Structure 1
């Protein structure tokens, strides 16, 4: 096999898929949800704060189209916080819409590395930041009364 998947240190047997998708939120590819609706299986309900990544598989371009249109879900493969993908040969990959050919080796995805610092609005009223410009040497514009 050209790809070996490890999730949290355990090798995961891949079903017959053409591609795998790693999700850190449920929205993917312009709003599609490859994980699909909630169902009874051994996976926990995903959310963006649980420290877990979801791994799903797709069987091909038709399957991708069905996911985009909401007709089907991807194949649920695994959940975990540490994903390692071992590539035995060059493989096309895409991250956040940016494609490239990845050379053989290990690709590691950590949920902890995906955290972003967010700015929060201060509750205090902002001070006036408008510049206060005074005329030089006390000379100003003449009023219409002059």
Structure 2
């Protein structure tokens, strides 16, 4: 079975609580959040999305043994472009994030087991050119 569920940044925090209630402790539920330095970029992304203007976003997932050249998927729908890439480590995530931003990505979300240092490395690597969000869990994750 599934032991963790990670909701993308498009889901407000109340949805995390609803999903957690629905799974009733059978899985840990987290959601993507953004720090202060990313808020203006997130607001611009949201405004473009709601106005139907094309955007480019990327989801980077930390997966041991991943090959980012092979373990990637691109989806285009309604002018929106989403790239999903699995990476084996933080160093690769930093390199990939820099490349994505150079290619015009305007929002990045980190999934998998990025720790604080790894998340900070990606945020610093994009140097404010894209908001970077990461999966966080509530204090209920500390129980047990």
The interval holding the TM-score normalised by the smaller chain is under 0.3
Structure of larger gyration radius: 1
Higher relative contact order (CA 8 A, sep 6+): 2
**Higher helix proportion:** 2
**Normalised by the size of structure 1, how large is the TM-score?**
0.22
